[in-house]
Amino acid sequence: MSKSLNPIDKKQSKTQILRNLHFHGPMSRIALTQLTGLSRATISTCVGELIEAGWVSEAEKQLTSRGRPAITLEMVPFTCAVLGADLHNNTWTLGAFDLNGNTIKTISFPAFAHSPRETLGILIREIRPFIKKLDVTTIPLIGLGLPGLINTEKGIIQSAVDLNWSEVPIKEMIDEELGWPSAILNRHKARGLAECRFGAGKDFNYMIYIGVGSGIASGLFQDRKLIHGAIGGSGEVGHITIEPRGILCPCGNHGCLQVYAAGPALESEARKLIRQGETSSLLGTKGDLQLLKAEDICAEAERGDNLSLKVVSQAAEYMGITMANLVNLFNPEAIILGGSIAMASSRYVEIATSVMKQRSMSSLSDVTHVTRASITEFGGALGAANFALDRYLSYPLLSQV
């Protein structure tokens, strides 16, 4: 790849072109003109410079609706790497991806630490050796997918109950350590962004991703872009009230979806039923009920264990009610279910979908496609890297590579 010949982009014309190719994928010059509002002459000149600089290429000819050939423009693959990292279950996943979302390299390593600074330090120590093993140059930029309610504008973890973290200035900490721009978002939203751009949701313009694991969070996507809300907190479906006088949630509210449909809810309900004397094949999987995990319950439900099916069905019903409300409110084309629970149990997804269809307006749910996520191990890292690109991608930035 040749280096950018001129890093100046006074009117941000080249940046607009790069951003649209990043957001939407390959497209024609005419489509770029329509999306950017730039003149055909400006598009032609800027595209020529981007091709000469090695960032954009002309793809195979495709026929338009009138049968005329149109040359498609796309980002050149594997020209450079952007980093993304995801923290989940005391494990960091660090990945390097190109501007088209192709995976260059990923690694995972333990993150057993109590304080946010120690946990972040474990990641920082791995980044430099990781970069040295890459065959392409790295853009000085990183995105992080993290647990909890995150103010994406300020880069602060406002509350991560599972980790007992609150008001953590994580962006400030990583910028200080690396000296790079960074962007942070909730880990489930990061995974949703990966699904939206490259996975099960890539063919839909209006999509909702719901991650179900130890907690529940979602991302709302329109035209391949994450809807942030005022501070980046949109999509906290885990804290929708589902039972007005229900169980106390760690967030302080009573009856949140999370305490009825996430992993800990499955574990608590299964233990309660077993202690009440109900039989289950779960008794043969764990000698100590306190060691029982939601994934065990999902696995036994898939094998037909009645108690496990009862527990999964109850949790999935609450999820289905919530999905029905989302369908009525947002009219999505697709709902993608991810996270450890949804990925471990097809029954959970089937029941939630059935309840959604029963309780939502049929004219809306009939056009809502429900499926499971297709990107698993590195989805959070991929989404986080793309979130950072969404924030910072520009022609001058690439000119530094």
* 20 and 155 fall within a common domain: no
Element (H, E) at 159: strand 156-160
* 26 and 114 fall within a common domain: no
Say if 351 falls within a structural domain: yes
* 184 and 303 fall within a common domain: no
Sign of CA dihedral 265, 290, 286, 378: positive
Q: Is 72 helix (H, G, I), strand (E, B) or coil?
A: strand
Main-chain phi, psi angles of 82, to 5 degrees: -120, 140
* 54 and 91 fall within a common domain: no
Q: Is 398 helix (H, G, I), strand (E, B) or coil?
A: helix
Rounded CA separation 73/52 (Å): 13
Give residue 348's pLDDT.
Answer: 96
Give residue 377's pLDDT.
Answer: 85
* 111 and 164 fall within a common domain: yes
Q: What are the strands of the beta sheet with 156-160, ordered from one edge?
A: 149-151, 156-160, 165-168
The number of domains in the chain is: 3
Instruction: Quick: pLDDT tens for 359-383.
Output: 999 999 999 999 999 998 899 999 9
* 43 and 26 fall within a common domain: yes
Give residue 2's pLDDT.
Answer: 45
Say if 4 falls within a structural domain: no
* 241 and 361 fall within a common domain: yes
Instruction: Quick: pLDDT tens for 271-322.
Output: 999 999 998 888 876 667 788 899 999 999 999 999 999 999 999 999 999 9
Are 211 and 204 in contact by the 8 Å Cβ rule? The answer is: no
Range of the domain at 317: 202-372
Say if 276 falls within a structural domain: yes
Rounded CA separation 364/357 (Å): 9
* 335 and 212 fall within a common domain: yes
Domain final residue pick, 37, 58, 75: 75
Say if 136 falls within a structural domain: yes
Comparing CA positions, the residue from 104, 155, 143 lying closest to residue 388 is 143
* 87 and 66 fall within a common domain: no
Predicted model pTM: 0.90
Say if 7 falls within a structural domain: no
Rounded CA separation 219/336 (Å): 10
* 182 and 207 fall within a common domain: no
Q: Which residues of the chain are under the pLDDT cut of 70?
A: 1-7, 10, 60-69, 285-287
Give residue 119's pLDDT.
Answer: 94
Q: Is 4 helix (H, G, I), strand (E, B) or coil?
A: coil
* 358 and 218 fall within a common domain: yes
Domain final residue pick, 75, 93, 124: 75
Q: What CATH number is attached to the domain comprising 332?
A: 3.30.420.40
Comparing CA positions, the residue from 3, 63, 76 lying closest to residue 28 is 63
Give residue 6's pLDDT.
Answer: 63
Rounded CA separation 168/158 (Å): 7
* 237 and 367 fall within a common domain: yes
